[in-house]
Structure 1
Amino acid sequence: MSAPYLRWSFRRPLILLLAIAALVTSVATAGESPLQILYIDANIGGSSGGHVAVKLHDAVYHYQNADGITRLTRDSWNRFRFVYNDLENRNIHIADVSVQPADVERIRDRLQRLLLVQNRQIDYLEALRQDQTLLEALRQGQPVPIPGIGFFSRVTHGSSVMYNLSAQIEASRGPGYLPSLRERSNRQITSMAYLPASVPNMALSIDRYPEYPPTFSEQVSDIHGHWFAASVIQ
């Protein structure tokens, strides 16, 4: 692998130089490498140290701080350039890296795997936070928001579409399936008790997609969703 070199820079163009900038850009990108290292100049305020990213074809991978967590993100090149170059008025320096096509794919697969694993871990952290929100609402006797319930209604639907759907479900699952589902869901709702999520004691790994059990708030949402759906369709 040869050392990267500074090839060209984006600068926020002046209105009178738009045509020239477009011409220079088109010439400079004609033989660009699919793998590039980006350095974004420092900005006054929160980005005094500059910013670094990896560009693979039209995707840009870089780290951002969101809600106190430094996480890998992926943006399209057009969006990335628009935000940093146009909106924030920062220079973007681009260095080509000479690598074999197979190595480019290996790097992309690695970054994609890291992104998937990281997002799953953060999603589960958010689900555990939803447990806290749910328990606090129950403790204070406040209404508990259930995602998706707005699609259902307690009012008799009187819809031929819903009637046909009910008939199809009964034909597929057997007579009395919907009343049975509603009754079973109601029993589960009345007997539910909070148990802390049993998270497996495993080390975080960028090579292994984590499998987590459903959280309490997810179980509450699922069971209430079943009850409401069975009530409406029936």
Structure 2
Amino acid sequence: MRLHREGYTIMITTGLVLLALNLLAYFYLFSDNSTAITLLAIASLILFGLIVQFFRVPTRQLTVHESQVIAPADGTVVVIEETSEDEYFKSPRRQVSIFMSPLNVHVNRNPITGIVRYFKYYPGKYLVAWHPKSSTENERTTIVIQAANGAEVLFRQIAGAVARRIIWYVKEGQPVKQGDEMGFIKFGSRVDVFLPLDAEINVKIGDKTKGGVTVLAELK
């Protein structure tokens, strides 16, 4: 396991602030209260541990298969439905949505291998990630990857109520490989995946996904 580069500044800053707070408590605020000093130290370690775990990147055997769509994120499947995708396809698609809690790994990965045919970033609101309007009103990105056989998969990084920054590493025209990192969302979020209507869905509501590993669907 390694720690993601997107967390370096936050982890270092948090560590220094917590260290300064504990030193201040030890020498000045609670110098005669060992219980308070101990409780503060424990609370600081727990907080720092939570932040560090958020930026973890576990070592995994990634799934690579040209006819499969792989989960772009860790989380829980909260939506599987046929819907109209009106930004790019402007036609019906199968939507699979993954909710990422603050305890999930928050690296986002390319669901298929291909060429990035479309990319757009939208600033927006910070509704809770499971809100129906979060996919159209929240801060988000839309990415479309076209596979070698011409099939296109659209997915969106969507910021949640806690998330305040979406990171991406792709651009239009760029070739990408299934399973490679394409971005990161900080502190709670959601990813929507839009598939062709004839795609065979391999997950169900409530399933836990692992980014780069779980097979969401089979393309025809």
- The structure whose residues are more often strand, as a share, is 2
Work out which of the two has the higher radius of gyration on C-alpha atoms and give 1 or 2.
1
**Bigger relative contact order, structure 1 or 2 (CA pairs below 8 A, ≥6 apart):** 2
TM-score (norm 2): 0.24
